[in-house]
């Protein structure tokens, strides 16, 4: 009987130790988890030149861009390797929730709804919203009223969906997974405009001589400021990332990176 009690006691003790160990692991902050594994997994959607896009380098397809440059600077500051996870934009934030990615850097705006579910870094870049139209229709679409009863596209899951809905009154929103799809729909005449951030819009226009910026002025508030997204309660990680962003902005390194990658994107087309 005593041996049986001893055995049961040992089993119970083992269970307690195991549970304690699991609890300790799960309670680790995001920064510690990243440093323990030695890798920072970054989610992004590589169809947003000059921030993230694909190009051939030495015969290999690589993901490059100013957001990739930022990710590498963060990895360097944390002393870990950077692993890029490419996916559709509407899955980028979800990958952070599921744990498939540690952070997301993909031209993400920290709007109030997103801030309920994620922590965000300080802003590293601010872009204006614009509408891209066919060049031949530039004069036809000079005001928001001109888009009444017309179709306007935006990328699914992006802030530009809300901009199109809230600001381009009277137009019908067409949500598409990739920005390139929206541009193709515009060129094909399926939609009359595409709502984009200005740097991305200019990148597409420079590669498509039949496209132009409309004369419409959209409101571009703080929700159009790009931030790094991370899981809730990532205070220590946010502090480290904010330090990196502060240093890069102080030397104008981010703007220089955007300009460098804009030129790189054009040479890759």
38-71 residue pLDDT tens:
999 999 999 999 999 999 888 889 999 999 999 9
Do 65 and 85 share a structural domain? yes
What pLDDT band is residue 9 in, cutting at 50, 70 and 90?
very low
Domain count, the chain: 2
Model confidence, pTM: 0.78
CATH number at residue 61: 3.40.190.10
Q: What is the 3-state secondary structure (H, E, C) of 173-235?
A: EEEECCHHHHHHHHHHCCCCEEEEEHHHHHHHHHHCCCEEECCCCCCCCHHHEEEEEEECCCH
Average pLDDT (92-121) is 95
In the chain the beta strands, taken as DSSP E runs, fall at 39-44, 47-48, 52-57, 60-64, 81-86, 103-109, 118-120, 125-126, 129-134, 151-155, 172-176, 193-197, 211-213, 225-231
Question: What pLDDT, on the 0 to 100 scale, is given for residue 27?
Answer: 59
Do 105 and 142 share a structural domain? no
> Are residues 36 and 62 located together in one domain of the fold?
yes
- Percent of the chain clearing pLDDT 70 (strictly above): 88
Mean pLDDT of 73-89: 97
Same domain, 94 and 39: yes
**pLDDT value of position 269:** 61
Average pLDDT over residues 225-252: 97
* pLDDT of amino acid 141: 95
Residue range 236-246: average pLDDT? 98
Q: What is the mean pLDDT of the chain?
A: 89
pLDDT tens track for 187-224: 999 999 999 999 899 999 999 999 999 999 898 765 57
pLDDT score of 118: 97
- Tell me, yes or no, whether 24 lies in a domain: no
| Same-domain check for residues 120 and 248 | yes
Residue 183 belongs to domain spanning: 129-213
Query: What's the token pair of residue 186?
Result: 């515009």
Strand partners, 231: 118
Q: Has residue 135 got a pLDDT over 70?
A: yes
Query: Both 178 and 133 in a single domain?
Result: yes
């Amino acid at each position: 009987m005593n041996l049986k009690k001893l055995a049961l006691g040992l089993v119970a003790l083992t269970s307690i130790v195991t549970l304690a160990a699991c609890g300790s692991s799960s309670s680790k902050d995001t920064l510690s988890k990243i440093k323990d594994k030695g890798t920072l997994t970054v989610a992004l959607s590589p169809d947003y030149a000059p921030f993230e896009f694909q190009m051939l380098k030495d015969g290999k397809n690589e993901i490059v861009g100013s957001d990739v440059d930022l990710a590498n600077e963060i990895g360097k500051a944390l002393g870990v390797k950077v692993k890029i996870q490419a996916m559709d934009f509407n899955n980028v934030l979800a990958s952070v929730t599921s744990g498939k990615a540690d952070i997301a850097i993909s031209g993400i705006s920290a709007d109030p709804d997103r801030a309920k579910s994620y922590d965000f870094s300080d802003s590293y870049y601010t872009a204006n919203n614009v509408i891209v139209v066919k060049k031949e229709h530039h004069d036809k679409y000079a005001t928001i009223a001109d888009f009444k009863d017309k179709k306007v596209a935006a990328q699914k899951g992006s802030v530009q969906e809300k901009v199109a809905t809230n600001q381009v009154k009277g137009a019908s929103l067409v949500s598409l997974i990739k920005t390139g799809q929206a541009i193709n729909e515009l060129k094909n005449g399926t939609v009359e405009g595409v709502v984009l951030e200005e740097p991305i819009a200019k990148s597409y226009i420079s590669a498509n001589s039949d496209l132009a910026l409309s004369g419409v002025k959209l409101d571009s508030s703080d929700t159009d400021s790009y931030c790094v997204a991370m899981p809730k309660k990532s205070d220590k990680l946010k502090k480290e990332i904010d330090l990196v962003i502060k240093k890069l902005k102080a030397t104008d390194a981010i703007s220089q990176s955007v300009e460098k990658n804009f030129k790189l994107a054009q040479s890759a087309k």
